[in-house]
Structure 1
Amino acid sequence: MSDVLVYSGPGVSTSALHHTLKTLRTLLNTYDVKTVDAKTLALDPWQKGTALVVIPGGRDLPYVSELSRPYTRNTDGNSSSSGGSQRNAAQEVRNYVESGGSFLGICAGAYYASGHCSFEKDTNMEVDGSRPFLRFFPGTCQGTVYPGFVYESDKGARIIDIERSAEIDRWRCHYNGGGAFMNADTFAGQGVEVLARYAPTQPEELRLDIDLNGAGGTQKRPDYAGQAAVVLSTVGLGKALLFGTHPEFPLLPSSTPVLLAENGGAQTQEDKDRQERDGHLRMHEQRRLQWMHELFTQRLGLRSELPPWAIAAQPNGADGARKVDATGTAVETDEPKLQPIFLASLGKNSDQVTDDIVRKLAAEKSSSTTHLAGFDKCAVLNSARAASVKDSNDALHFFSRADTESVKEAKGLCSSADYDAFSKPIIPSDPSEAETNQDKEVDLDSVPKYILVCKQDQASRPSADLLPYWNIVEYEKFLLHFREANLQKEQIKEQGHWSTWRAPFDPFNPFSFSSAPLEEEYRFGTPMLYSQMVTSTQTMLDKNFRLLSALPVGTTFFATQQMSGRGRGGNRWISPKGCLQFSTVFRVPVSMASKTVFLQYLSGLAVVEGIRLALGDSAAAQSVADKVRIKWPNDIYAEIPPVDETTERAKTATFELDGKRYAKLGGILVNSQFSGGSEFVLISGCGVNCLNPRPTTSVSDLISIHNSTAETSDQLDQISQEKLAGAILSTFDSIWKVFMRHSGDFRPFVDRYRQIWLHSDQETTLTSDAIRQSGAGDEESVRIVGISSDYGLLQAVPRTSNVHAKDAKAWGDSEDSKAGGIIQLQPDGNSFDMLQNLVKRKV
């Protein structure tokens, strides 16, 4: 997954940052949108995995000092701001764009990215000087265009129209202190294109173009009509998009400039006028997102997706503005809402299993729980109450049935929920912003969760039309089918299968070759939970101790989309539709604590083997399956064509190895916690891109690529998410019982793991602080050969070593490593950068 990096260091406005992130995550929902500081931009090797760098609104002067601050990394792997060979963030961003990257600068970010900044000249707020750092616009960015600006405040905020150059219409947006790109047309020969200009007149129907401070209006100001408000610059091989305005702020009745205008007493409106005004705002909010989407896709080459409500084209009016119903009801602008969760178990005793879970939770003593407004009017749900628990992280309400009426009522309650009671103000980083900052964000964890229990009786389960993205019956069918397929592999003792492994004879422990009896039959994938929209399957299981304690091993939580998914190192894990995402419960005794590291490896193995199983046994199917590989320790990658045929460009966040190009197909995150008894509880979260080829690749993409050149007899059917889930979870069954039978020994899986991971004898560069063996030097050229069988450490040797990945000692324990001169590395995937072919320092 490619990154979108948003600078969030000194100078950035809290409000501007909030809305920048929100707009980017709405439109670029297949990218990992995250914040960075100047040191990260200066020192980290972020360039090859990044699709866009953004400097949002705020204050230009702190940007000058922070982004040009020199940093260096010392030979011990530490960083500092002095001495040695130095780098700064601005130069790294400039180099990135010149090499083909994309940049977005908004308001202060655009002032900073221009050759000269001229702000409020001849006033007590004057800032005037050269900006030699980025110079994406070679000329002067001069402002403010409109009066009333106050630092760290929205008091000068207003809604304005700008005239788009390619369209005979106006585009409405938020403005607060931005500049104009002066005489931008004269820089056309230097790659500057004017996309929009400041308009000579402003909208009267909204009457929001006012000076809320009451002073600026009497001040004589330059006429900026016709000057550039938005420019696109070609810089080397890359592009820089600069806005003097604030395109990231929403244009809704609840947006900051609208509220400030109303609260300032500037206007009094009748209800009819207010409805008409609100309708216009909603229409312009739709157009705001549409043009941003167009700029991202057509000008910056990004993969942008409009939310459904913003897609519908509407007829143009005489004034070029698209019309909507005056009440605004024709355009749904609400954010997605959390949806009900369904609990089901599969098999003969399914009702008993779910009843036991609810019974355990009902017996828990907890504080009172809240409900969504309107729950008291839900007669069907009220009659089916089973348990309510205020858990560690969430308020959980269980209901004893999931028939059609119950599901309709629960979906209606959740979809129409008012989240205002669960919202909290955004705390500004600068106290001076607190007075005028009215932005809030929803605390999704505090929103009550509604869980409907599905019974074995089909009439007590939701119908397919009520669950359009997940079919419980189909999932159950495939899970049972692939359990039989895996059992057959064990029974015929398929060559290389983990179930055929036997421990070598140890004369000092003559019973070591025998397997320990298996006390429990593991059945992964049931019971199952499912929600069309949830906060995070990982959080829901990992952070709710009472719920987790009631769930048996193998319980799996599926979701169509996650609103706050979790990834390794705090990375925000984006979950577009078409991605199979789930979290599964595991338990191991305390005596096997050191073996928990292997769960991420076994999860990767289960995913790859599950894809192979779902594709089938034909030669054509296996040729596709062979393209799916493991990147140590927790990522799934797939071999793809070097160029995306739909865009004729190489896909981002890919890497080349041995002449083949690979793109990310999925990822794994494992959380563990001590239960307080005699076991550790682990949650393995997996995400596999099944149906959606963006932004990297998917299982369906691999099949389509194969079918485009295959003979008719070798054509492959697409794989549904239910089928893939059944194949992966049934494979977990087979893997986990062997792992537990051999007390956490990884050796049964080595042969198969070695075949499907990417790293056998891969040559790479090892940096000093990634080396656990002392005296190895600052950097060393090494080969990756295996994983230690006792602690799960990545094992490497000097390139000239005679130890190779095919050797048993490459996959042996720590004693074997010492004898073989093997270097051991911690399993931290964020320090293994395949894009740079580098095991990076941990700083």
Structure 2
Amino acid sequence: MNVLVYNGPGASEDSVKHAVRTLRHLLEPYYAVSTVSARVLQTEPWAAKTSAIAFPGGADIPYIRECTPVLPLIKKFVSRQGGAFIGFCAGGYFGTSRVEFATGDPNLEVVGARELKFFPGTGRGPAFRGFRYNSEAGARAAKLKTEDGDELCVYYNGGGVFVDADKFDNVEVIATYADPIDVPFSEDPGSPNGAAAAVICKSGNGKVLLTGPHPEFVPHLLQKSLDHHYNDHVVATLLKDDQKRLKFMKDALTKLGLHCNSDFKDVQAPSLTPMLIAAPGQPEKFEELKQNLIHLSNPSNSGYLVLEGENDTFNVYDGLKWFESAQKALVDQEPEEVAKCIILPNTIQDLPNKHITPNFDMAKYFSSLKAKTNIGSILMYGEIITSTSSLLDSNKSLLKCFPQNSLLHVGTIQVSGRGRGGNVWVNPKGVSASTVCINLPMRSPTTNRPVSIVFVQYLAMLAYCRAILGYAPGFEDLPVRIKWPNDLYAMSPDYYHSKKMRLVGKGHHGQKVPLNDMEPAFVKIAGLLVNTSFNNDNYSLLLGCGLNVTHEGPTTSLQAWINILNKEREAAQLEPLPPIEIEKLLAFYMNELNHLVEEFLANGTDRILPEYYKLWLHSDQIVSLMDHQNVRAKLVGITEDYGLLIAKELYPGTNAEYTGTTYHLQPDGNTFDIFRGLISKKAT
């Protein structure tokens, strides 16, 4: 299940960063924590696969302007569907029935009703004087008193108090301000109760957490800024209570009904590690890469080259002897801000020792890569990186240094992974995170026909599917299939057990389920993100993919299915399937992708689409076209020119008689809940 953090107008960049970081620390691997825009909330079917939605700090007036169309969906998600809403500071004000902020101050005053009304009373603030937008002037370490009488300090900057919170039957006060505040916290001047700083509200079937201060802020991420109001003492105070802060947040999230991990005390934001380049057996490509890096970089006084990318700075080291010093330069540095380190091998055949890359065996990858495979013939690997996709997409000068159709970028852990719709997440260990760069001409060198690059996403998913099913004998029984257009799904183990299925020896035919069971039967294990640019009459495509290989949360993994099938195989007295190795799987993926791209450029889609159809989940699926008066239509394939989904309209009351009307649906121009048979045109 997902936990979504709003990231759009109104949300401050720092507040989003802190909210995502803390929620990930406490909720992974049980939930996938990612950011989301108002447009995605309005157009995508997010609610059915989401446990909680959070609005971080910032300003709630822009929230209203941006999210008004979404508010009924959020209220329904909480009150009817039993979801959770989390509001920090501005998000806390946003979740009340009325806001009274800086009353009487002509520069700051915000007063008015709010639509969500999760808290039935007023959010009033700032609780402490001195607030200024985009400033640390009003920031402090606010002391809170919890329900059990414990005290802790958390970051505060402009948050409010929940007026008379103790008087509402659906509200539980989980923390009060321990110090006197500067605004009335009750309409009763003689009220003996405390000033509510954080509350849990019941709303229909769901629950809501609202806070005035920022218990989600991570002290060590409060980097000193150019703001002269920045106070080192505030951060020092917060650091002393950081374990109490995490416990408070864990208790609050548990009250919402969320499942927190048990070892959060040991979770720390990981430091980046150097990215190592290897290209054994590719002397010409390696030399081209090296000369391009030298040409675009400037020498430093410390012996390495400095490449200024469009978004990041890269320190380029010549030789593995630099690994330790490069690694030290990255320790305890903010991943998005520190200069990234790239290390070239001493010679073309050099591969790093296993102790340098304990989670990825480069030699194993290259031994499984076919000699004729060009795609992925240069590997750039880092144990802990920002994002394989965004690092390349946002630094075209680095990307252009690599020879065409050669680069595969792999990371064991991504701390700033990117997904569709601007989503951001951490890819933990056990998720294969990779981005491959493909260059395609405008026209086929064989047929001279225009190349439709939309098909690359289909080629990539087909290649990954083929790599998995052909990994070793017996892997053809793994229930892995393609969800249109570019997601990889596996059967849910719960569905498998509930139906008492048996798959060994049956291949694809043993995995068929009723079309109306597709959503409970299959769950997502991988998704593809494609970034495209155009340069010198060539398309440059970055295909980023994260695949659950051994990591269980939040759905299932390939290894989980290997274990399931091995129980069947043991009962049938068959040899067990081997554990899946990420290095070999990625090499097989590159081999398959290289072959499919060559086939596509030479012969188009004639030979590719029939195989794609065998491995997708939508053959003969019936859908309702919401932007065409809900007419029913059957999915019959994909157009061979622009890769559009083909849906033939059905006569009312039939599942096999066509009216003669055909619809073509765009993969990126329509939003759909395809398993539920709903497809509608996206709002622009």
TM over 0.5: yes
Query: Of residues 535, 539, 564 in structure 1, which corresponds to 2:386?
Result: 535
Q: Within 5 Å, which residues of 2 pair with 1:247-396?
A: 247-252=215-220, 254=222, 281-296=238-253, 299-301=256-258, 310-311=265-266, 335-346=269-280, 349-351=281-283, 353-362=285-294, 364=295, 366=296, 368=298, 376=302, 382=303, 389-390=307-308, 394-396=312-314
| 2:658 counterpart of 1:797 | no
The structure 2 residue matched to 1:788, chosen from 629, 639, 642, is: 639
Alignment equivalent of 2:210, drawn from 235, 239, 242: 242
1:804-823 aligned at under 5 Å gives the runs: 821-823=661-663
C-alpha distance in 1, partners of 2:221/2:386?
Answer: 26
1:65 & 1:730 partners in 2: Cα distance?
A: 49
Alignment check: 8 A CA contact 1:391 1:547 kept: no
**1:407 and 2:407 aligned:** no
Can you list the C-alpha shifts for 1:328-361, whole angstroms capped at 9, x where unaligned?
xxxxx6x544321211124xx3455423431344
Quick check: 2:140–2:157 contact (8 Å CA) kept in 1?
A: yes
1:452 to 335, 344, 358: 344
2:87 aligned with 1:169, yes or no? Answer: no
Instruction: Give 1:197's aligned amino acid.
Output: T
CA distance in 2, matches of 1:680, 1:449: 28
- Secondary structure of the corresponding residue to residue 201 of structure 2: strand
Indicate whether 1:692 and 2:551 are aligned.
yes
Alpha-carbon distance in structure 2 between the residues aligned to 1:407 and 1:656: 54
Please name the residue that 1:595 is paired with. 452
3-state SS in 1 of match to 2:440: strand
C-alpha separation in 1, matches of 2:63 and 2:653: 52
Seen in structure 2, the aligned counterparts of structure 1 residues 224 and 182 have a Cα distance that, compared at 3 Å, is farther
Stretches of structure 2 that go unaligned for 5 or more consecutive residues are 445-449, 498-514
How far did residue 629 of structure 1 move? 0.9
Report the equivalent of 1:613.
Answer: 470
* Per-residue CA distance 1:128-151 (angstroms, 9 max, x = gap): 7765x3332334545554444556
The AA in structure 2 aligned to 1:341 is M
Q: Which amino acid aligns with 1:345?
A: A
Could you tell me how far 1:44 is from its partner in structure 2? 5.6
Q: Which of 522, 546, 562 matches 1:662?
A: 522
Stretch of structure 1 that moved more, 729-738 or 541-550: 541-550
What SS does structure 1 have at the residue aligned with 2:681? coil
Amino acid of the structure 1 residue aligned with 2:600: F
Q: What corresponds to 2:76 in structure 1?
A: 95
Deviations 1:589-610 (A, max 9, x none): 3323423222111110111111
2:194 aligned residue (226, 244, 269)? 226
1:244-286: CA deviation from partner (whole Å, max 9, x where unpaired): 32223333595689997776xxxxx9xxxx7xx9765323234
Contact (CA 8 Å) 1:7, 1:54: kept in 2 or not?
no
605, 615, 618: which one aligns with 1:759: 618
CA-atom RMSD in angstroms: 4.2
- Provide the residue aligned with 1:509 in structure 2: none
Three-state SS of the structure 1 residue aligned to 2:330 is helix
Q: What is the one-letter code of the residue matched to 2:599?
A: V
For residue 456 of structure 2, give the secondary structure of its aligned residue in structure 1: helix
Change (3 A) 1:412 1:763: same
Counterpart of 2:413 in structure 1 is 561
The answer to whether residue 138 in structure 2 is matched with residue 193 in structure 1 is no
1:171-226 CA distances to partner (integer Å, 9 max, x unpaired)?
Answer: 321234444445545544x3x33322333x59xxxxxx9x9xxx99xxx9977763
SS of the residue corresponding to residue 822 of structure 1 reads: strand
1:704-743 to 2 correspondence within 5 Å? 704-707=563-566, 711=570, 713=573, 715-740=576-601, 743=602
Contact kept in structure 2, 1:48 and 1:835, CA below 8 Å: no
Which residue in 1 is equivalent to 2:438? 586
Q: 1:691 to 1:96 in 2, by over 3 A?
A: same
2:353 aligned with 1:463, yes or no? Answer: yes
Residue 213 of structure 2 aligns to a residue whose secondary structure is coil
- The corresponding residue for 2:362 is 472
Q: CA deviation at 1:782?
A: 1.2
Amino acid at match of 1:590: M
Are 1:604 and 1:635, in contact at CA under 8 Å, matched by a contact in 2? yes
3-state secondary structure, aligned to 1:840? strand
Task: Assess if the C-alpha contact under 8 Å between 1:194 and 1:228 holds in 2.
Answer: yes
Structure 1 residues 258 and 172: alpha-carbon distance in aligned structure 2, compared to 1, 3 A threshold = farther
* Residues paired across the two proteins, number: 650
Could you tell me whether the CA contact under 8 Å between 2:2 and 2:50 is conserved in 1?
A: yes
Instruction: Give the CA deviation at 1:101.
Output: 1.1
After superposition, the Cα gap between the structure-2 partners of 1:283 and 1:547, relative to the gap in structure 1 and judged at 3 Å, is: same
Structure having the higher Rg: 1
CA–CA separation in structure 1 for the residues paired with 2:483 and 2:62: 40
Q: Is residue 634–residue 829 contact of structure 1 (8 Å, CA) maintained in 2?
A: no
Letter in 2 for 1:299: L
- Residue by residue over 1:494-540, the C-alpha shift from the partner in whole angstroms, topping out at 9 and shown as x without a partner, is xxxxxxxxxxxxxxxxxxxxxxxxxxx43443221111233332344
1:303 touches 1:695 (CA, 8 Å); kept in 2? Answer: no
Decide whether the 8 Å contact of 2:492 with 2:555 is kept in 1.
no
Against the structure 1 CA distance between its residues 368 and 630, is the aligned structure 2 distance closer, same or farther, given a 3 Å change threshold? same
How far residue 689 of structure 1 moved from its aligned partner, in angstroms, is 1.5
Shift of 1:103: 0.1
Q: Corresponding residue for 1:622?
A: 476
Does residue 642 of structure 2 align to residue 837 of structure 1? Answer: no
Cα distance between partner residues in 2 of 1:837 and 1:463: 51
> In structure 1, what is the Cα distance between the partners aligned to 2:111 and 2:196?
19
Aligned partners of 2:286 and 2:348 also within 8 Å: no
Distance 1:672 1:107, change over 3 A: closer
What is the TM-score normalised by the length of structure 1?
0.67
The 3-state SS of whatever aligns with 2:607 is helix
The residue identity in structure 2 corresponding to 1:453 is: P
Q: CA deviation at 1:760?
A: 0.7
Shift of 1:299: 3.0
Distance 2:109 2:200 in 1: 27
How far the C-alpha of 1:798 sits from its partner, in A, is 0.8
Following superposition, the deviation at residue 734 of structure 1 comes to 3.5
Equivalent AA in structure 2 for residue 664 of structure 1: K
* Distance in 2 of aligned mates of 1:47 and 1:24: 18
Cα distance in 2 for residues equivalent to 1:399 and 1:544: 20
Shift of 1:640: 0.4
Q: Distance in 2 between matches of 1:546 and 1:42?
A: 36
Q: Deviations over 1:404-446 (max 9, x none)?
A: x4322222233365x6xxxxxxxxxxxxxxxxxxxxx9546xx
TM-score, normalisation: structure 2: 0.81
Match in the other structure for 1:104: 86
Contact 2:480/2:489 (8 A) holds in 1: yes
How far apart are residue 238 of structure 1 and its match? 1.4
Q: Within 5 Å, which residues of 2 pair with 1:65-80?
A: 69=68
- For residue 427 of structure 2, give the secondary structure of its aligned residue in structure 1: coil
Q: Which amino acid aligns with 1:522?
A: T
Once the two structures are superposed, what CA deviation does each residue of 1:677-698 show, in whole Å capped at 9, x if it has no partner?
Answer: 5x43333222212121112322
Question: 1 CA distance for matches of 2:221 and 2:646?
Answer: 58
How many percent of aligned residue pairs carry the same amino acid?
Answer: 30
